[in-house]
Structures are given as structure tokens and as C-alpha cells.
Amino acid sequence: MIDVKFDFTELWLSVTYNKNEEYHGIYLNSLYVTGSLPASIDAGIPKCKKIEITCESHDQGWSSYPQDQGTYNNSWTWGEISIIPKQNNDLQGHLIENESKIRYNVYTNKHAVKDWQTHNFVFLSDHPLVQSLQPGDIVGLYIRSCYPGWCNYIKRAEIKFYYTV
């Protein structure tokens, strides 16, 4: 009964990982920020309940398609999140790329808008990402862009894990 009440009111523990560093590029598939659910704490093994992602980004601010400006149509800059399995860490603690990961889109920038946009995305407990997350797994936010001229700019991102024990 107590667990149900805590879940209903969302009285959960949380841990936040953030990065505040401007970065941009074309043809991007870059890992920008990572975080992880604690492997264990004094009270036991954590169980993830929710993951929130917040970031500020925009594209290059121009395109050859004025009819799409300010919309999400034909926008080629976006962000994805993925679990990076533990075995993809090398001895120095750097992440090794593995293109076979399942990734989930968490934001798309508006087409040809140079102003910073704040994107918020929430994965709830019924989402496969949250359900498959194991204590100690690393979650990474990738910033993406494709096609000549499409540039993804990011200046801040945060990954927040909510969990119970």
C-alpha cells in the first residue's frame, strides 16, 4: 500500500546529470551528455520510474524551403537517447560507439529557426527505455544532423532519473 501511494504521488528519489557547453556541427551523431541510474544505494537496488530530458538547441536558422520555416517539416536536426550497455565502456571509462543501439527521438528543432528552443521529453515507467534500464546502465543523449547545410546547435542538456528502492 505504501509503495502504491508513493508511486501515485511520485514521491521518488532522483539524480540529475547535466552539461552546459555550447556545441554544434553538421552530419552529427555525437554523444553530448550521459547519466546513469545508481548501481545501488544503502537502501537497496534502485528501480527506475521516470526519465526526463531537457535541452536547449536550434538549427542553422536558414533553409531553401521558406514554406517550412518555423515548423517541424523537413527539419534535419534532432536529438536521440539510448541505453549504452556496460560492455561498451573501455578501460579509461570512455564510451565506445555501437550503432546497433536502440535510440528514441527526444526532440526535433524547428526548421530554420535560429532562436534557442527548450525541449522537454519524459519517458514514463511503461516505456521500453525505462523498463529495460538496469542499475548502472549509462543513458546518453546524442545530437544529430544530416544533409549539407544542416547544423545542430546545443548549449545545455539535462537527464534526470526518478527511482525507488
**Mean pLDDT per segment of 10 residues, for the chain of length 165 residues?**
52 94 96 91 84 98 96 97 72 47 93 98 96 91 95 98 92
Nearest Cα to 158, choosing from 12, 8, 15?
15
Top CATH class of 14-164 equals mainly beta
Q: Are strands 29-36 and 138-145 parallel, antiparallel or unpaired?
A: antiparallel
Burial of 120 (0-12, 13-18, 19+ CB in 10 A): exposed
pLDDT at 91: 39
For 141-153, give one letter per residue: b (16+ CB within 10 A) or e: bbbbbeeeebbbb
The H-or-E segment that residue 153 falls in is strand 151-164
| Residue 129: strand pairing partners | none
Q: pTM above 0.75?
A: yes
Question: How crowded is the C-beta side of 23, counted as CA atoms within 13 Å?
Answer: 16
pLDDT at 88: 53
CB 116 within 8 A of CB 99: no
pLDDT at 146: 95
